[in-house]
Every structure is written in structure tokens, then in C-alpha cells.
């Protein structure tokens, strides 16, 4: 959108703090700028100017229409107590969306195609609206139904619309607790980060929300202001907040190098946070490797999670060396399982998790089954044990002979598989996947529920899981997904691995070694030898698996 400089009256100038600004206020409205627009506009503005979109110039002097006010409460359908949620107020006639001034809104400011933008509320809301008819949609997490209420507003009127959000399924009684393992905020926020951090995770019905400290050159990630560890001052409305770390290495600005990994529940930063061209000094060597930093995080009590569907040169090495506790699928991307299945087919018992990465923009979450009383430590123990499923909508149950994700089942005889999916967002079918192949499926009734119960003959050791297939999109504009962690099948004398998966990863590591030798920078030959040695160790591991299968 083009912008036009409008002179402002002079005012005393104080020395500014070292912060980045990504929005400005004009006539009571917040307008968002990209980082590129900010940088491009700096040299064009003189002192005492503010940016006004050209599209607003023609209407800034128009008389404001008299408004009415709608206010109400937001309550949980199970307890009847006031709760946090997100609302969307629209005019059915025009399709225009309204929100209260200065409200905390979902991000990004321009959602994906088909996505919607909401504002967050805690218990009560109030909004001024021009005369007309409106729909108010309330959404909370994935365990509640979405609800829509209608209201007619006249000039100068006051209307009350209380909203109770019905429960689809309460997961807590059966020990399931939801978490987002991957979030941080960069430039594009429109309010104080403290406000967003206090309000958004509870409104998204998260029991655990992990924020990640990270470095990408000099970009001002505002969440880096918070200390590493628990954040009790932000954990008062039903969500436990932990400040962790994302450790990263890229081979190009937007292309993974070694890869990205999360450290949860750490007492301090693991340094360096970023290596190579992502570091504050882009001439920094590509050393230590990510797996080396993962092992340091584990030594100080951290839980390590590989990000972004397993992308990165070092993911097979780090997993082979035992440096990775958990594997994230679908964080900042669509859910893709092929990479995850490769590792499972090599015999690794690798728990599944997810998050949203850039802000909390959608309903991505990992449900973890906690044994005993809920705590962060108990939740992390359940996550590392593989008692989990991931989703951005559908809720899953899955057992094999009565045992759930993360457990092992002797399978000399046929096993009894039971799976169920229940969702407020539509999906096509529920599937049972064994060693990466769909072996059973059931179409969803009314797009909301599906059940599979049957006996399955098992010929060899391996893994089995449940997932949903969908074409519909979420409120954030992403394809609906859900996938359980595996149940591991054990047939005596038959190994749980596939030759082709191990051989493919061995070849991949060979190619990575050649790339590192040619392109990566090291302080000396000793560091290069250590890095290559780790990759060689991983390559030999997969070669041994492939040969042992013969």
C-alpha cells in the first residue's frame, strides 16, 4: 500500500530506547508495517512526519457515524466460569471485521488465504459498532466447539451478548494436557509483548506454552527480553510458561544447514545460540555442530526437540547419536510425515510433538498423557516417553491391546487396534498407519467423528499409529491434521527396521559431509575434523543398520 507523509506538530525529542517499531498509530487505529517497509521509509521521512496510507486520505475528515456498544461475558461450557477466548465480530452484509481499539489480535495481520483474524478477551469484552447486524464468533482451543451469536446494533444503543463456549471433550480427566513447544515473537506485534504473553496462551487453552530465545543476526526478537526458565508472572491464568531456546544453523538465509532444535526446561542458555551466517557475527564458524549443543543441553537437564519436520543436514546424525528426545512435525509448516517415518522405520523410538513457531497463529499443539498429578516435569517426562499426539483440531484416542502411544506391545498373535477421532473442524477420514503404510481407514461421519476397531495380523516388529486425513483448513488457514505417537510392535526375532530407510539416510549423510567440506567455515582443522567425525559416526550407524537387515 502506498503511504504519504503528513506533517505533525513538533514535540520535545527524548533519546529513544533501543527498540524496533513495527506499527504506528493514526487517528486511533493501529496500522502494521513489514520490516522492509520500516527500513525503506526511514530515509524518506523528515522530522515531524507520520505515515498515512493514501487510501485513508480521502476519508480522514468524514464525520464519524454514531455507534452502539455490545458487551458481554465469555464462559466455559463445562464449569460456567469466566474464561479466556478469542472473538471475531463480522458484518454478514459487508463481510467487514471489527475489533476493539487496542485489542490483542491474532497474527499475522494478513492471515493465509482462508484464514481468519480474531481478537483475544479475558472473561469480559466490549466493542463499539456502527448500526447494523453482526455475528460474534467465539473460539477456544480445540477441546471446545466454536459458537456464533447474532446481535443487531442501533445508534446509541447498548446490547449485552453473553457467550458460553460448549465443551467438545474435556481431556484433563483422562490425563491429557496440551502444550505448544515452539513460539517466539519478532517484529510484527502491535502491542506490548507482556500483554500478549499473559493473554494469548490461556485463550488458546494451552496448559504449557514454551517461548524460545533465538538469534538471527541482529533481528530484535522481543521475546529475548525474558529470562531463561519458568515465567511465573505470566503463568497465572491456567498456562505454565517456560522460556527455552532455539539453537540454529543455516546454509543460506532461508535454507537449513545443520538444522534447528529446541531446548526446553533449561537453567541457562546453551552457547552459541546460532552458528555460521545466523550468528550475530555472520562470519562466525559453523561450529559447534547442533548435535554437540544438544548434548550440552541434555547435560544440564534440558529436553531436546528437532524442529520443522526434521529438516536439516544433521537431523539423522543427532538422532543416531541419541542427542534428540522429541521430533516436531508441522511447526510453522504443514504437517509432513515422510521424514518422521524414515526414522521410525530405522527402529528409533522417537516421540512426536508440534508448535507454531512464529507466534501462536493457529491451534497446533501436542497433547501429552501425564501419569499422576500434573506438573511441567511430569508433562515433559510423558513427552519424552512418547505418550503424545499432535493436532490442530481433531482429538485422537489410540490403543493397541489396550496400550497407548509410547508403549510396546508383544505381537506374536493378532493385535486389537482401537482408534477414534473427534473434531469440531471437518476431516475426511481416520487412518491406521503401520511402518508408514495405511492399513485401515474409516470415513468421518458428518466430517466430525470416526472410529476404527479391528484385529490386525503382525508379521514383524515395527510401529503403528493413527492419523487423520483432511482437505479442510483451520482458522489460521492451514490443512487440518492430527497424528498419534507410535505404539511399538515387538515380534520375537524380527527386527524393527527397514533396510531402505537406513541406506537412504547413510547416503544422505555422505552428501552432507561433502557439502560441509566444501562450504562450511571452521576456526581450524581440528574443529573440522570433530564435525566431520560426528557425521561419519552417524553414517556408519545407518550403514550398519542396512547391512544387518540383509
Higher local confidence (pLDDT), 124 or 108: 124
- Going by DSSP bridges, is the β-strand pair 97-98/84-90 parallel, antiparallel, or unpaired? antiparallel
Tell me if 467 is assigned to some domain. yes
CATH code of the domain covering residue 223: 3.20.20.140
- Among residues 385, 406, 424, which one ends one of the domains? 385
For residues 277 and 357, state if they share a domain. Answer: yes
Residue 27 gets which letter from DSSP?
T
* Beta strands across the sheet bearing 449-456: 395-400, 415-422, 449-456
Which pLDDT does position 366 carry in this prediction?
98
For residues 212 and 263, state if they share a domain. Answer: yes
Question: What's the pLDDT band for 334 if we cut at 50, 70, 90?
Answer: confident
Cα–Cα distance, 384 to 327 (Å, whole number): 10
C-alpha cell at 316: 539423522
For the chain, the straight-line distance linking the first and the last C-alpha, in angstroms and rounded, comes to 62
Q: Is it true that the peptide bond before 272 is cis, omega within 30 degrees of 0?
A: yes
For residues 517 and 544, state if they share a domain. Answer: yes
Angle between helices 499-519 and 525-549 (to 10 degrees): 170
Cα–Cα distance, 174 to 157 (Å, whole number): 46
Beta bridge pairs of residue 451: 420
C-alpha cell at 355: 508448535
Cα–Cα distance, 193 to 199 (Å, whole number): 10
Which pLDDT does position 188 carry in this prediction?
63
Tell me if 524 is assigned to some domain. yes
Instruction: Kindly give the residue spans of alpha helices, DSSP state H, lying in 356-411.
Output: 376-384
- Among residues 20, 36, 57, which one ends one of the domains? 57
**Ranges 53-62, 182-191, 254-263, 312-321: which has the least confidence:** 53-62
Query: How far out from the chain centre does Cα 467 lie?
Result: 18
CA dihedral sign of residues 400, 401, 402, 406: negative
Mean of pLDDT values over 58-67: 54
C-alpha cell at 135: 455475528
Q: Is 518 left (phi over 0), alpha (psi -120 to 50) or beta?
A: alpha
Tell me if 62 is assigned to some domain. no
Number of Cβ within 10 Å of residue 47's Cβ equals: 8
Mean of pLDDT values over 486-493: 92
**Is the separation of the CB atoms in 284 and 272 below 8 Å?**
yes
DSSP per-residue letters across 177-194: EEEEEEEE--S--SS-HH
Helix (H, G, I), strand (E, B) or coil at 278: coil
For residues 334 and 193, state if they share a domain. Answer: yes
For residues 195 and 149, state if they share a domain. Answer: no
Residue 303 gets which letter from DSSP?
E
Which pLDDT does position 186 carry in this prediction?
72
Helix (H, G, I), strand (E, B) or coil at 455: strand
Whether pLDDT at 28 is above 60: no
Question: What's the pLDDT band for 272 if we cut at 50, 70, 90?
Answer: very high
**Ranges 89-103, 137-151, 331-345: which has the least confidence:** 331-345
Which one, of 192, 191, 168, 182, lies nearest residue 212 by Cα?
A: 182
**Is the separation of the CB atoms in 468 and 482 below 8 Å?**
yes
| pLDDT tens profile 444-463 | 999 999 999 999 999 889 99
The pTM of the full predicted model, rounded to 2 decimals, is 0.87
Mean of pLDDT values over 422-431: 97
Q: What domain count does the chain have?
A: 5
Mean of pLDDT values over 82-87: 97
Cα–Cα distance, 45 to 494 (Å, whole number): 71
Which one, of 257, 174, 308, lies nearest residue 512 by Cα?
A: 257
For residues 114 and 178, state if they share a domain. Answer: no
Which one, of 369, 377, 320, 291, lies nearest residue 501 by Cα?
A: 320
Cα–Cα distance, 362 to 516 (Å, whole number): 36
Half-sphere exposure of 476 (CA within 13 A, CB side): 26
- Among residues 342, 366, 385, which one ends one of the domains? 385
**Is the separation of the CB atoms in 203 and 263 below 8 Å?**
no
| pLDDT tens profile 347-376 | 999 999 999 998 898 999 999 999 999 999
For residues 187 and 84, state if they share a domain. Answer: no
For residues 404 and 462, state if they share a domain. Answer: yes
Q: Where are the beta strands (DSSP E) in 205-264?
A: 208-213, 229-230, 240-252, 255-264
Which pLDDT does position 252 carry in this prediction?
84
For residues 205 and 288, state if they share a domain. Answer: yes
Tell me if 63 is assigned to some domain. no
Question: What's the pLDDT band for 307 if we cut at 50, 70, 90?
Answer: very high
CATH code of the domain covering residue 403: 2.60.40.10
Expressed as residue numbers, the domain containing 248 is 173-385
For residues 93 and 136, state if they share a domain. Answer: yes
Which one, of 336, 353, 333, 359, lies nearest residue 117 by Cα?
A: 359
For residues 319 and 185, state if they share a domain. Answer: yes
Which pLDDT does position 531 carry in this prediction?
98
For residues 315 and 220, state if they share a domain. Answer: yes
Cell 510425515 belongs to residue = 337
Amino acid at each position: 500500500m502506498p503511504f504519504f507523509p503528513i506533517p505533525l506538530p513538533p514535540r520535545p525529542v527524548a533519546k529513544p530506547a533501543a527498540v524496533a517499531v513495527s506499527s504506528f498509530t493514526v487517528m486511533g487505529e493501529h496500522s502494521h508495517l513489514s520490516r522492509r517497509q520500516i527500513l525503506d521509509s526511514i530515509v524518506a521521512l523528515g522530522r515531524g512526519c507520520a505515515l498515512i496510507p493514501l487510501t485513508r486520505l480521502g476519508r480522514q475528515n468524514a464525520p464519524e457515524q454514531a455507534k452502539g456498544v455490545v458487551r458481554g461475558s465469555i464462559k466455559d461450557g463445562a464449569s460456567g466460569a469466566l474464561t479466556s477466548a478469542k472473538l471475531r465480530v463480522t458484518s454478514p452484509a459487508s463481510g467487514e471485521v471489527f475489533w476493539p481499539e487496542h485489542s490483542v489480535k491474532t497474527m499475522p495481520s494478513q492471515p493465509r488465504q482462508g484464514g481468519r483474524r480474531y481478537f483475544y478477551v479475558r472473561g469480559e469484552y466490549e466493542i463499539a459498532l456502527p448500526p447494523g447486524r453482526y455475528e460474534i464468533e467465539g473460539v477456544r482451543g480445540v477441546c471446545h466447539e466454536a459458537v456464533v451469536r447474532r446481535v443487531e446494533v442501533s445508534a446509541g444503543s447498548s446490547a449485552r451478548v453473553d457467550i458460553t463456549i460448549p465443551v467438545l471433550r474435556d481431556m484433563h480427566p483422562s490425563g491429557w494436557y496440551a502444550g505448544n513447544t515452539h513460539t517466539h515473537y519478532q517484529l510484527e506485534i502491535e502491542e506490548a509483548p507482556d500483554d500478549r504473553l499473559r493473554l494469548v496462551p490461556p485463550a488458546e487453552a494451552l496448559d504449557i506454552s514454551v517461548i524460545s530465545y533465538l538469534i538471527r543476526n541482529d533481528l530484535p526478537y522481543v521475546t529475548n527480553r525474558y529470562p531463561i526458565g519458568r515465567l511465573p508472572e505470566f503463568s497465572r491464568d491456567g498456562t505454565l510458561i517456560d522460556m527455552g531456546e532455539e539453537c540454529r544453523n543455516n546454509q543460506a538465509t532461508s535454507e537449513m544447514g545443520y538444522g534447528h532444535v529446541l531446548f526446553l526446561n533449561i537453567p541457562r542458555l546453551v552457547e552459541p545460540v546460532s552458528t555460521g551466517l545466523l550468528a550475530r557475527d555472520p562470519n562466525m564458524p559453523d561450529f559447534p555442530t547442533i548435535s554437540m549443543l544438544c548434548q550440552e543441553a541434555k547435560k544440564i537437564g534440558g529436553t531436546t526437540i528437532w524442529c520443522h519436520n526434521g529438516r536439516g543436514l544433521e537431523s539423522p546424525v543427532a538422532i543416531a547419536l541419541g542427542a534428540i528426545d522429541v521430533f516436531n512435525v508441522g511447526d510453522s509448516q504443514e504437517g509432513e510425515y515422510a521424514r518422521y517415518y524414515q526414522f521410525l522405520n530405522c527402529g528409533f523410538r522417537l516421540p512426536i510433538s508440534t508448535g507454531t513457531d512464529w507466534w501462536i497463529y493457529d491451534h497446533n499443539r501436542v497433547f501429552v498423557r501425564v501419569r499422576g498429578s500434573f506438573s511441567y516435569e511430569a508433562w515433559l517426562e510423558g513427552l519424552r516417553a512418547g505418550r503424545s499426539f499432535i493436532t490442530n483440531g481433531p482429538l485422537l484416542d489410540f490403543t493397541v491391546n489396550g496400550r497407548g502411544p509410547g508403549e510396546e506391545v508383544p505381537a506374536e498373535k493378532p493385535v486389537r487396534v482401537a482408534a477414534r477421532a473427534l473434531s469440531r473442524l471437518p476431516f475426511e477420514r481416520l487412518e491406521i498407519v503401520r511402518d508408514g503404510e495405511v492399513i485401515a481407514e474409516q470415513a468421518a461421519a458428518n466430517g466430525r467423528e470416526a472410529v476404527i476397531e479391528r484385529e490386525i495380523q503382525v508379521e514383524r516388529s515395527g510401529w503403528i499409529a493413527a492419523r487423520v486425513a483432511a482437505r479442510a483448513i483451520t482458522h489460521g488457514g492451514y490443512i487440518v491434521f492430527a497424528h498419534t505417537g507410535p505404539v511399538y510392535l515387538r515380534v520375537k526375532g524380527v527386527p524393527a527396521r527397514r533396510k531402505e530407510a537406513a541406506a537412504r539416510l547413510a547416503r544422505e549423510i555422505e552428501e552432507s559431509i561433502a557439502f560441509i567440506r566444501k562450504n562450511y567455515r571452521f576456526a581450524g582443522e581440528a574443529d573440522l575434523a570433530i564435525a566431520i567425525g560426528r557425521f561419519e559416526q552417524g553414517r556408519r550407524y545407518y550403514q550398519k543398520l542396512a547391512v544387518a537387515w540383509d
